[in-house]
Amino acid sequence: MSQEFERLLLNLSIDIAAAKETPVAIEAIQRFIMTRLKPASVSHLEIEKSNLTKDPIETEWKWSGKDCVLRLDILTPLQFTLKECVHAPLDAHELFSFKKITHIFREKCELLANLKSLTYTDDVTGLYNQRYLELILDRELLLARRNELGFSVLFLDLDHFKNVNDSHGHMIGSRLLYEVAQEIKKTLRESDITFRYGGDEFVMILSHTDLPAAMLVAERVRVQIEKKRFLAREGLDIRLTASIGVASVPDHAETKAQILRAADEALYGVKKAVRNSVIAATNKV
């Protein structure tokens, strides 16, 4: 392996190690290709995973004269097309070193993704947790100010859930919370986000949704939970109901604390009055 190639590999490894996103890694690989092989042109495209027989794909260089196709996987399956390369193909040692560096980047990204999942995901329901709720509310408020579009927050509490835990135990209670989470998710749009707030409380953020529309969604969620026979596959027939408070930006809040407080106060109003119902916040900004 030549000193020049060792220098190129060192630069590539430094760039890859510093890369936090796939596009940055793609740029680093493209710089390496341009310097090492000197093609007249180089382009890349993402490979549709539906067209793959193996995931992740193996790093592969295919040469046809001075043209080359490079396929590799750095979380995103990619194909680079090189035309009229001036320099000779990589030898066995160079290929091994290149493959190892790109593999390290993939492993790093997978590790970071797993760590992020552990940080922001509730381990009982698989939903996002309070920590991630804070981040998403920041984002929604920013978008609301920038685009003058509102959003709504649903605060849900399961009625008398403590009685279920007392009667069936906490293991059953945890499995119930998981099933409730699934019922909520399948009732909402893909763009809506559901969080476990704590205990038997859930929060839903409905992007670009005003108060009347949010009330309809909340009622749909309430009905879905009320009619569900929970843990039927385990031979049980547990019935639950839910109370939901609804608040919207900009109607009831301008800040993160205000929108959560408005939805929580509306929820408190439901539980104090009738339970198994939906109530909107009343205090206007």
- Active site residue ranges: 200
Are the C-beta atoms of 133 and 203 separated by less than 8 Å? yes
Contacts of 222 (CB under 8 A, 6+ apart): 241, 242, 244, 276, 277, 278
How far is the CA of 7 from the CAs of 29, 88, 249, in angstroms?
A: 14, 17, 55
User: Which one, of 5, 17, 26, lies nearest residue 72 by Cα?
Assistant: 26
> What pairing do the DSSP bridges indicate for beta strands 242-249 and 278-280?
parallel
Half-sphere exposure of 55 (CA within 13 A, CB side): 9
Contacts of 191 (CB under 8 A, 6+ apart): 207
- Rounded to 5 degrees, what are φ and ψ at 227? -90, -10
3-state class percentages of the chain: helix first, strand second, coil last, to nearest 5: 50, 20, 25
